[in-house]
Amino acid sequence: MLNVMSRNWWHLVARGVFAVLFGLLAIALPGLTLAALVFMFGAYVLVDGGFNVYAAVVDRENNRQWWLGLLEGGVGIVAGILTFIWPGITGIVLLYVIAFWAILTGILEIMAAVQLRKEINTEWLLGLSGVLSVVFGVLLILSPGSGALAVAWLIGFYAVLFGITLIGLGFRLRQNPQTSQSDGQYPAQDVSQS
């Protein structure tokens, strides 16, 4: 799993950058209509799910748990498609779709972090992004009636924090000694020295 993640470190960075951009838009423009928020969320989870599916399929021969990435990506793609199929979805239903997507994604990321705990020193970043996702999902379930402004900011701050942890993990994995030059990456450095 570490080899797969190290070779595809840029997937994590790209997912993180997209999450940060989405989060900053949600924070900067909290007065967006619900429809705009639905479309932004749909685009975000479609791209995120696509990155996960791509990484899982490309490395299925090298990774016994490739199906976890495929499952995570599939959930994101389905959630994104649902938001585009039903753009008139009520705010409460949208919040539950987002909440359950975040919880499932978080659980899968925590599982991956546990599997990586003996292989890298920075598995906690993946675990942290998973915990953030689960906490975010639970908060949405516990207070679905919050005002639209509070929800937009909550979604925005979650996306920014989630994105930052993915970017940090991606760059740490880039330095993994198992990342080879033949995969197009730069020479590896010892992660423990950083």
pLDDT one-digit tens code per residue, 26-60: 788 776 656 677 777 788 888 888 888 888 888 78
- Say what the pLDDT of residue 28 is: 83
- Say what the pLDDT of residue 174 is: 83
pLDDT one-digit tens code per residue, 73-103: 898 898 888 878 876 665 667 778 778 888 9
- Say what the pLDDT of residue 181 is: 44
Closest CA to 55 of 125, 107, 108: 108
Domain 2-180 has CATH 1.25.40: yes
Q: Give the whole-angstrom CA distance, residue 119 versus residue 191.
A: 11
- Say what the pLDDT of residue 103 is: 92
- Say what the pLDDT of residue 149 is: 61
Query: At residue 138, what is the residue type?
Result: V
Higher pLDDT, 156 or 121: 156
Q: Coil, strand or helix: which one is 1?
A: coil
The pTM (predicted TM-score) of the whole model is: 0.57
- Say what the pLDDT of residue 43 is: 83
> Got the DSSP string for 10-32?
HHHHHHHHHHHHHHHHHHH-TT-
- Say what the pLDDT of residue 145 is: 62
Distance of CA 130 to the CA centre of its chain: 8
Mean pLDDT, residues 155-183: 75
